[in-house]
Amino acid sequence: MFASPTFAQSNMPSNTILTQENSEAVQFSSFPTVYDNLDQLADRGAPEGRRAAGTRNCNSLELLAVVPTIDVLYPNEERYLVPIGKTVAGHPTFWFYLSETIPAPVIETLTFSVLDEQDKLVSNIVVDVPESHGLFSVTWPNHEEPLQVGVDYRWLLELQLSLSTSSCSLTEQNTDPTEIDNLFVEGFIQRIALNIAQTEQLASTAFSLASVSTLVELGVWYDAFDVAMSLQGFSDDTDMVINNLLASIGLTDVSVD
């Protein structure tokens, strides 16, 4: 699933999410992500982050994970912005962004991996290379074991770049032709369980922007953004909601039309 990005901000405030049914607003200054076990995450080492950028064959490249970040103090007394979010799904969907300047032939492979709390590989899957730039999704396959409630999984998306010289020669760039550059982004995801009232509330607003608002209130990023993206074309407000979600996690340079 793709949505072409632009680099314009929404006309609405970045802290507003509208519901479809009554246009009432849920107000927040930033996406409400709260974690109680950041010390344990810090012991696992700092992830690379949600942005990866470089150059290849005279092209500027950027890979971005569409996920909130939390400021975490690590044992070395340094602070890192850790990409992290919650889900209620056993097989959640993750969203990413490929910059407008990445030509598809430059991408060799795209691999998505999930690791457990001991950073042991749970599984990795080869992802279809997007046909165009923009927002794209990766869903944890149903044939894989569902994520367990309360476990902090680390995920990694790695983009391996081709040695093709579609734009200019390697010699012009003084690039070693034996080297293959990789870009990767990584972060964390935790599956949470909803209580009966929360489950009933979501069920009553299924497949609507109201369910996005409910998920925002619960701090469930992965599902809130995925539901909003799945509603494109069903409501005139959807693009505005998506752009406001992006702005709420500091991604004001990416938006959908």
The tens place of each residue's pLDDT in the chain, 257 residues long, gives 434 332 222 333 334 444 444 334 444 456 766 666 666 766 676 666 788 766 555 456 788 999 998 888 777 777 878 889 999 999 999 999 988 656 556 677 889 999 999 999 999 999 988 877 889 999 999 999 999 999 999 999 998 877 654 444 333 344 444 445 688 899 999 999 999 999 998 888 887 889 999 999 899 999 999 999 999 988 778 999 999 999 999 998 888 86
Q: For residues 249 and 51, what is the distance between their CA atoms, to the nearest angstrom?
A: 13
* Model pLDDT, residue 253: 85
Whether 12 is in a domain gets the answer: no
**Residue linked to tokens 């970045």:** 14
Whether 51 is in a domain gets the answer: yes
CA atoms within 13 A on the CB side of 229: 24
Among candidate residues 193, 210, 236, the one where a domain is terminated: 193
Residue 197, C-beta contacts closer than 8 angstroms, at least 6 positions apart:
none
* Model pLDDT, residue 106: 67
* Model pLDDT, residue 27: 42
Q: For residues 186 and 177, what is the distance between their CA atoms, to the nearest angstrom?
A: 27
Q: Looking at the structure, do residues 201 and 186 belong to the same domain, yes or no?
A: no
Alpha helices in 38-162 (DSSP H): 38-43
Q: Looking at the structure, do residues 122 and 206 belong to the same domain, yes or no?
A: no
Helix (H, G, I), strand (E, B) or coil at 205: coil
In terms of C-beta density within 10 A (0-12 exposed, 13-18 middle, 19 or more buried), how is residue 207 classed? exposed
Tell me 238's DSSP state: H
Total domains in the fold of the chain: 2
Among candidate residues 193, 215, 238, the one where a domain is terminated: 193
Residue 152, C-beta contacts closer than 8 angstroms, at least 6 positions apart:
37, 40, 41, 117, 188, 189, 190
Q: Looking at the structure, do residues 218 and 149 belong to the same domain, yes or no?
A: no
Q: Looking at the structure, do residues 40 and 86 belong to the same domain, yes or no?
A: yes
Q: Looking at the structure, do residues 54 and 98 belong to the same domain, yes or no?
A: yes
Q: Looking at the structure, do residues 43 and 79 belong to the same domain, yes or no?
A: yes
Check: CB of residue 154 under 8 Å from CB of residue 188. Answer: yes
Helix (H, G, I), strand (E, B) or coil at 5: strand
Angle at 205 between CA 201 and CA 208, to 5 degrees: 145
Domain, as residue range, for 226 = 195-249
* Model pLDDT, residue 16: 42
Check: CB of residue 224 under 8 Å from CB of residue 249. Answer: no
Q: Looking at the structure, do residues 142 and 236 belong to the same domain, yes or no?
A: no
Among candidate residues 193, 216, 231, the one where a domain is terminated: 193
CATH number for position 114: 2.60.40.1930
Q: Looking at the structure, do residues 173 and 223 belong to the same domain, yes or no?
A: no
Q: Looking at the structure, do residues 127 and 240 belong to the same domain, yes or no?
A: no
